């Protein structure tokens, strides 16, 4: 993991997204990571382009850097999971996407998830025993999966940072950058 002096230079971040990702929840964290020096790559089940969701309609398309079929978690140091109902629902139903997410937890690599993205964490069976937040409609899903759900703009628990919605992106980005640089500001539970 990079030192405090290096920032995020040399850190490779996978951004796992499918069609219907919430545009602001991918673009703004990606920009923050890029500005901090990380190398971001969009990983997707889509082969060439992935289509965003903006407000109440389809948004723009982004180039897919690595197809999920060809992606190897070992090539990345951290994982960003943007939200969006369509995106998150599609990813949690995709066994390769779930295995990709699970690999980051197995390898103790940092993960950042916002809005509906924790569905993939539930499916990867990594929510149990964690303090998390999300879009409010996931509260029961997270609690049923064994997580402690809280209504806060950002929550850091071990190597996981979660946020609720686009309005929380400034706090989400701040804590994601800290976590990915190896210096989280807060820890809600003891490291396992």
Other beta carbons less than 10 A from residue 73's beta carbon: 18
Residue 175: exposure state from Cβ atoms within 10 A (0-12, 13-18, ≥19): buried
How far is it, in rounded angstroms, from Cα 52 to Cα 104? 24
3 state DSSP class of 190: coil
Q: Is the distance from CB of 64 to CB of 54 less than 8 angstroms?
A: no
* Residue in 101, 111, 115, 176 annotated catalytic: 115
Q: Is the distance from CB of 37 to CB of 11 less than 8 angstroms?
A: yes
Q: Is the distance from CB of 114 to CB of 83 less than 8 angstroms?
A: yes
* Residue in 109, 116, 158, 165 annotated catalytic: 116
Reply yes or no on whether 166 is catalytic.
Answer: no
Reply yes or no on whether 116 is catalytic.
Answer: yes
Which residues participate in catalysis according to the annotation? 115-116
């Amino acid at each position: 993991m990079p030192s405090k002096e290096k920032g995020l230079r040399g850190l490779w971040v996978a951004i796992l997204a499918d069609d219907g990702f919430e545009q602001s929840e991918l673009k703004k964290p990606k920009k923050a990571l890029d500005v901090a020096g990380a190398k971001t790559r969009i990983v997707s089940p889509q082969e060439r382009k992935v289509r965003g969701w903006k407000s109440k309609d389809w948004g723009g398309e982004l180039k897919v850097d690595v197809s999920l079929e060809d992606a190897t978690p070992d090539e990345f140091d951290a994982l960003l999971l943007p939200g969006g109902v369509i995106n998150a629902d599609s990813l949690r139903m995709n066994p390769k996407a779930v295995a990709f997410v699970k690999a980051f937890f197995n390898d103790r690599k940092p993960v950042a998830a916002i809005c509906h993205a924790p569905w993939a964490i539930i499916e990867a069976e990594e929510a149990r025993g964690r303090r998390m937040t999300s879009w409010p409609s996931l509260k029961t899903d997270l609690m049923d999966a064994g997580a402690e759900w809280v209504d806060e703009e950002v929550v850091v628990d071990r190597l996981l940072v979660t946020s609720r919605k686009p309005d929380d992106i400034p706090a989400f980005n701040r804590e994601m950058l800290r976590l990915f640089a190896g210096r989280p500001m807060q820890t809600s539970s003891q490291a396992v």
